[in-house]
Amino acid sequence: MEKASHLSVIIDLSPTQWHLSAQTSNQYPLSIETFLSQLLAFLNAHIASKHENSLVIFGALPGKSVLLYSSTELLSDDVPSLDANSYLPFKLVDSAVVQRIMNEFDAIGELEEEPPCALVGAVTKALCYINRITHPSSTTAGVAEDPSIVHDPRILILSVSPDLSSSYIPIMNAIFSAQKLALTIDVCKVYGPDTVFLQQAAHLTNGSYIYLERRDALLQYLIMSFLSPTSIRKILAVPKQDKIDFRAACFCHKNIVDIGFVCSVCLSSTHYLLLSCDLAVFCQPLPVCSTCRLATLVP
* Cα Rg of the chain (Å, integer): 21
Which of the ranges 77-85, 119-127, 164-172, 283-291 carries the binding residues for other proteins, by CB under 8 A? 77-85
Phi, psi of 261 (to 5 degrees): -110, 135
CB atoms within 10 A of CB 278: 16
**Which CB, 151 or 254, lies closer to other proteins?**
151
Give dist(CA 276, CA 246) in Å, integer. Answer: 7
Closest to 11 measured CA to CA, from 229, 131, 188, 165: 188
Closest to 9 measured CA to CA, from 33, 51, 44: 44
CA angle 225, 50, 210 (to 5 degrees): 10
Asked if residues 193 and 22 have their Cβ atoms less than 8 Å apart, the reply is: no
**Which CB, 4 or 10, lies closer to other proteins?**
4
Shortest Cβ 99–other proteins spacing (Å): 16
Which of the ranges 11-19, 143-151, 207-215, 285-293 carries the binding residues for other proteins, by CB under 8 A? 143-151
Write each residue from 115 to 134 as x if it is in contact with other proteins (CB under 8 A), else as -, in one continuous string.
------------------x-
Q: Of residues 140, 242, 243, 287, which one binds other proteins by CB under 8 A?
A: 140
237 touches other proteins by CB under 8 A: yes
What SS3 state is found at 250? coil
**Which CB, 147 or 170, lies closer to other proteins?**
147
CA 253 to chain centre: 25
Shortest Cβ 35–other proteins spacing (Å): 15
181 touches other proteins by CB under 8 A: no
Give dist(CA 42, CA 40) in Å, integer. Answer: 5
**Which CB, 107 or 128, lies closer to other proteins?**
128
In this structure, which amino acid lies at residue 270? T
Asked if residues 82 and 32 have their Cβ atoms less than 8 Å apart, the reply is: no
Give the number of residues written for the chain. 299
Give dist(CA 61, CA 8) in Å, integer. Answer: 16
**Which CB, 79 or 102, lies closer to other proteins?**
79
Site for other proteins in 148-167 (CB under 8 A): 148-149
92 touches other proteins by CB under 8 A: yes
Q: Of residues 74, 102, 111, 295, which one binds other proteins by CB under 8 A?
A: 74
48 touches other proteins by CB under 8 A: yes
Write each residue from 206 to 235 as x if it is in contact with other proteins (CB under 8 A), else as -, in one continuous string.
-------------xx--xx--xxx-xx-xx
Torsion sign over Cα 97, 150, 181, 192: negative
242 touches other proteins by CB under 8 A: no
Give dist(CA 233, CA 237) in Å, integer. Answer: 5
Q: Of residues 86, 103, 269, 284, which one binds other proteins by CB under 8 A?
A: 86
CA angle 185, 156, 100 (to 5 degrees): 145
Which of the ranges 81-89, 112-120, 203-211, 290-298 carries the binding residues for other proteins, by CB under 8 A? 81-89
Q: Which residues bind other proteins (CB under 8 A)?
A: 1-2, 41, 44-45, 47-55, 71-74, 79, 82-92, 94, 133, 136, 140-149, 219-220, 223-224, 227-229, 231-232, 234-237
